[in-house]
Amino acid sequence: VNTDAEGRFAFGNLATASTYSYTVSVTYQDNEYQSESITFASGETAKTVEVTVYESTTSDENVKVEANYVVIFPEKGQLQVRELVRIVNTGDHTYVGSKVMEADPTKKETLRFLLPDSARELSYDQGLMECCVFKAEQGFVDTMGVLPGVKEIDFGYRLPYSPPQYDFLKTVAYPTDDLVVLIHGTGVQATSSDLVEEGPTDLGGDQFLVLSRADVGKDTQITTTLYGLPQGDSQKALRWAGTTLAVLAAGFGLGYPILRRRQKRAGGEDRQLLLELASLDDAFAAGSIAEEEYRRLRAEKKEQLLQQWRGSSRDNL
């Protein structure tokens, strides 16, 4: 349907049984906006829903990266890398891009993510959709509009290497407030003339070597050399990968310095939630839980973890 001059719309003759759910999708100025899932309680026959839309812009001048975590899990002959990126649109317009995609002329490039040349087996989760991601030179692009506010993205890839060392090259595509590289394990060492070495920290019950840099400019190249890489399999790294990502994703709302202080004081409730997240990831990997239920429970536990850390941060700052 089309809205009227006041933006109102209506759908009639819909099934209202509790087994049905609906989502309202609105297309406005080259961008699609969606409502939350809508369901009807017993006896309900009508629902009201509001969908907020914004004016669009083709300029990315208000788009930046607030935080970029690069988490490296060394394995035999390859690095398993996950990146969590917190993107902020500080303007009041949705950024819709201007470059038309050759593979699909109905879509435009909005965000570009640069990967090392040898990256393979790209996978993505939060903030990215298969319909809207396209391979590109030196990485991939997203074509979803960037709304005002925060957009969190999670993706991963693998890098083959020959022991015992590897030069990890990270190219920053957008101005970045904080870039943090975390390397799993106690045996691996790293040096970088582009990053500040912060030493080891504990996340999810395991040790990570941390290097970071603030205020990184667009198109900056960061090189980190890893030494003492494993020559055998590292099953422990694989086991804790999901938990570590959950910790970092929850920590996005706190800022990395607060996250580090909080992890050093992690209490029993935190550890229990981390173990529950790890068990949930294991259950999903084993196929013993449906994807929809898995994602719902995982989101709930991450939110509980985030609320605990927020409360502790207010108490200790």
Q: Which of 15-24, 124-133, 249-258 has the highest mean pLDDT?
A: 15-24
pLDDT at 77 (0 to 100): 87
Mean pLDDT, residues 57-82 taken together: 90
pLDDT band at 195 (very low <50, low <70, confident <90, very high): very high
291 band by pLDDT with thresholds 50, 70 and 90 = confident
3-state secondary structure of 274: helix
* pLDDT over threshold 70, residue 2: yes
Spatial CA neighbour of 181 closest among 203, 213, 138, 204: 213
Q: pLDDT at residue 109 above 90? A: yes
User: What tens digit of pLDDT does each residue of 128-159 get?
Assistant: 888 899 998 889 999 999 999 989 898 999 99
Average pLDDT over residues 99-111: 93
**What is the reported pLDDT for 185?**
80
Task: Tell me the pLDDT of the chain averaged across its residues.
Answer: 81
Q: What percent of the chain has pLDDT over 90?
A: 44
Q: How far apart are CA 233 and CA 230, in angstroms?
A: 7
28-67 pLDDT tens trace? 998 999 998 999 998 899 999 999 999 999 999 999 998 8
pLDDT: which is higher, 284 or 195: 195
